[in-house]
Each structure stands twice: as structure tokens, then as C-alpha cells.
Amino acid sequence: MSNVFNEININFLFDGLYLTLVVALVTCIISIIFGTFLAITRNYGGRIARFLAISYIEVFRNTPLLLWMLTAVFVLPSFFGRANPAVWGTVGFSLYTSSVMAEIIRGGLNSVPKGQFEAAYSQGFSQFFTLFYIILPQTFRKVIPSMLSQVITTFKDTSFLAGLQIAELTYQSKIILAQLTTFEDILIMISLVAFIYFVICFSLSVIVRYLDKKTAYIG
């Protein structure tokens, strides 16, 4: 037990958890912003803009996440210069997740009655202000549960970064596991990491269920 629960290992794990949370948070922020842009472009952009948005979304959604992480970490530095691999891993992660968020947000946009546009136009609103002040607030209110579900998936998917030697939670636990010698210690270590993921993801899922019920009640 002491081989697992000691100050060095706990601090080591929490360093990895900190990076995991930072990557997940940054990825979610970028993907919501960029995903909103993609969703609006796909629904209301010109022909070329719609084609580009659709192509981006379909390409990223139908290819593996790890592929884009690998591309970001090993290809992008050749064009933009060297940086911490965690930065490039987050970039690849964000590019992929944006395509998923775009479809979630687009579903919300499609659920808003078209009469909302007509009413806004009749009051002199331009398309931009109609989207910004009237359509998007309703959209986000409808898709918050789905977006939070994707946030949970994003948090769990940070474990892919371990395959790129990036020191997030799973990678840090792998290093500790390599130093353990007994089955009991290995089992305890795996259980501890699983427990950390579970607590965070379960807490978020409780919030998702609450908001889902609240949204259904309001609807």
C-alpha cells in the first residue's frame, strides 16, 4: 500500500491530473467557439463557405481522434515551430472536437423555429444580430446537456495523449505502474486512477441529467 500511496506518487498523479484538466478545459473552450462558427457557416453561409464547413466537419468526424493528435504533434511543428507537445496535442484535440461540437450546436440551431428569424427581421435586426441576440441564446439553452456530455467524453479522451508521451494523468500512472512489482500494488494503482476519472465524469454526468430534466420540463 505504501508503494502506491506516498507523497511522491500522489504529487506525480496530481501533476498529470492538472495537465488533463487544463487540456480538457482549453479543448472545450476552443471547440465550442470554433464549433459554433462551423455550425453557423454550415447552416447560413454562402455556397463555398457551406461546402468548406461541411467538408471539415465530415472529414474530422469520420477519422480517428488519435490520428489528428499525431498530426498536430509531429507535423505542425515543422510549419509553426517547436512547442510543448501538450500544446500541439491540444490543438489536434480541439480541431477534432470542434467538428463534434459543430453538429451538436447545428442540431440546436435547427430546432429554433424559423419564425424567430422572420420576427427579428421585421424588427430591423440584421442576420448577425438575429443570430447573436435571439437564435444562439435559445440554441445553447437547448444543447447544454449534449454539450456537457461531450465535455465528459473530451475529459476521458485526454487519455489518448498518453500515447504521445504527454504527461497527463494516464501517462503519469503508466510510469508509476512500471515501477510497481506486486499484483496488489498494480491493482490499487489502476483502481485509484479509475476512481479519479470516475469521480470527475460521474459528477459531470449528474449535472447533465439535472439539466436534461430541467430542459425537458421547460420545453
* DSSP secondary structure string for all residues of 100-114: HHHHHHHHHHHHS-T
Number of domains observed in the structure of the chain: 1
Task: Give per-residue pLDDT as tens, 152-176.
Answer: 999 999 999 998 889 899 999 999 8
Cβ(190)–Cβ(3) under 8 Å? no
**How far, CA to CA in Å, does 198 sit from each of 101, 165, 174, 203, 212?**
23, 23, 18, 8, 20
Residue 172, in any domain of the structure: yes
Whether 162 is covered by a domain: the verdict is yes
Percent of the chain with pLDDT over 70: 97
CATH for 169 = 1.10.3720.10
Q: Could you tell me if residue 197 is inside a domain?
A: yes
Can you give the pTM of this predicted structure? 0.89
What's the domain range around 209?
7-218
Q: Is the pLDDT of residue 219 over 60?
A: no
Q: Please report whether residue 32 resides in a domain.
A: yes
Domain contains 1: no
Residue 25 in any domain: the answer is yes
Torsion, Cα 50 53 54 59, to 10 degrees, reads 160
Could you report the per-residue pLDDT of 104-157, keeping only the tens digit for each?
999 999 988 888 888 888 888 888 888 888 889 889 988 988 999 999 999 999
What's the number of CA atoms in the CB half-sphere (13 Å) around residue 204? Answer: 18
